[in-house]
Structures are given as structure tokens and as C-alpha cells.
Amino acid sequence: MTILDKLAAHAAERVETAKKRQSPEDARRLALELPKGEFEFERALKKDDIAFICECKKASPSKGVIAEDFPYLTIAREYEAAGADCISVLTEPEWFLGSDDYLREIAANVNIPCIRKDFTVDEYMIYEAKLLGAKAVLLICSILSAQQIKEYIAVCDELGLSALVEAHDEAELRTAVACGARVIGVNNRNLKDFSVDTGNSRRLRELAPSDVSFVSESGVRTAEDIQLLREAGVNAVLIGETLMRAADKKAKLRELKGQYD
């Protein structure tokens, strides 16, 4: 099994445990009782310049623990103050050391939209995301069938959430487009072997419709990287490790934006 297979399998186990605490019927009912979202996440990506999705991430399978000290609320507020457009919050507990509590608290304390960064394998996780305060969820083509992606986008639409549909190669990108994805993310890191190539986003951008919000994920480290993506027509970047390792996250984000003092 690849790490992605393990992540998906563990997510399925977590869902079954969660369903014992709260039934799918109750989760759906409670999610639908909340005010319908206004697709704030995808709206935040539609701007003249490249948008920044900044990630709160304690650890990863490829790097291990990234932040021993993890004051997630402080980090999220720093991101917002520095001009982040959205915040990505890891809730996967085993390999990323994430928590639903991180998302719940961050979403309640910032005024920019949050995406639940997890390995969605069941529509139940979409209702969870809504209840936690997320404005978007991640759908990964390599662990979902095309039918599942379509169904999960429909669930998101019903709740007013955005779906960031993640692809890694041309075939997956075409699947995302065919499923009606409005926001497509290209992961520059191959989760099967952890190799990183930011050129992946630039190549695949040409194959996606111009009206799709296109997000480059992973391996974006410098203002030069971002300029190349900007020139390729990429609409947003998702940045995790580079910001998490920076002692001054505000200064680092300004640097990545090309805003030097």
C-alpha cells in the first residue's frame, strides 16, 4: 500500500467510528440546519492576483513533525493579518497529527474561509466539515471514483461548500473537469513516492478550462516559484511547510507575495 492508500483506509476507519458517536442521518440533518454557505472559499480565489491558501500543519508523512510548538490559533491569526486569502487546516490525526478541534477553533476565530484538509472517503466527512465551520473540503481523484467525486460535489453544493478537487496527472485532471469541478488543485508532490515537481502545475494548467480556479499545491517555496506559477495562469497557491518552518510567518508571506520592506 502507498501512503495515500493507508491515509484513505485510515480515514474510512475514522468515519465508521464517528458514525457510532453520531449517526449519518443526524450529521446530515444538523449540517443542513446551518445557514447555507455562499461558496466563500472559491470566491476568495477569484481575484486579480494569485491567491494564497496558507496551511496550519503540525506534521506530514514525508517530513515527520514540522512544528513541535504548534500554537495553531496564533498561526492562523498571523496568516490572516499577513493577507492570506484562505486557511487550510489539517484534521488527519495519524500522519499529519491534525485534529477536528484545530479546525473548529480556527474557523471560529478568523474571518477568512477555511478548508478541511483531510482524506474525504465518505460524504459523512463533508457534513462533519460543515459542522466544524469549514467552507471547503478536499476531494482527491486518486482515492475516489468519478461517481463519488460527482456525488460529493453535489453534497457540497447542497451545503454551500466548495470542493477543491485534487489531481496529480493529466488523466486525473480530465476526470476532475468531467466531474464538474470548479476548483482544481494540482499536487506537485506525488504522494506515492513523495517526489516534488512544481512544473507539474504549470504543465497541467494548460489542460484545465480557463474559468476553473486552479490551485498549485506543495513544493512552493520562493517568490520566484510563485512568479512562474502566476505567469502560467495559476490562480492560487497552497503553502504549508515553507510557512510552518518560518520563524516570522507574516514576514515570510510578505516575501512570497513579493512585498519587501
Catalytic residue among 42, 57, 200, 201: 57
Active-site residue, selected from the candidate residues 123, 128, 166, 241: 166
Residue 80 annotated as catalytic: no
Let me know if 172 is a catalytic residue: no
Measured distance CA(219)–CA(187) in Å, rounded:
9
Cα 25–131–7 angle (5° rounding)?
Answer: 85
Query: Using CA atoms, how far apart are residues 48 and 174, in angstroms rounded to an integer?
Result: 26
Mark whether 166 is an active-site residue: yes
Q: Which of 58, 117, 130, 135 is catalytic?
A: 117
Say how many C-beta atoms besides its own lie within 10 A of residue 86's C-beta.
28
Please confirm, yes or no, whether 25 is among the known catalytic residues: no
Residue 187 among the catalytic residues: yes
Question: Among 162, 200, 216, 218, which one carries the catalytic annotation?
Answer: 218
Contacts by 189-196, CB closer than 8 A, 24 or more apart: 189/62, 189/217, 189/218, 189/219, 191/2, 191/3, 191/4, 191/7, 191/61, 191/142, 192/2, 192/3, 192/4, 194/3, 194/61, 194/62
What are the DSSP calls for 186-253, one per residue?
EESB-TTT--B-THHHHHHHTTS-TTSEEEEES---SHHHHHHHHHTT--EEEE-HHHHT-SSHHHHH
C-beta of residue 70 within 8 angstroms of C-beta of residue 254 = no
From the list 42, 80, 172, 217, the catalytic residue is: 217
Q: Tell me the backbone φ, ψ of residue 31, rounded to 5 degrees.
A: -65, -40
List the catalytic residues. 55, 57, 117, 166, 187, 217-218
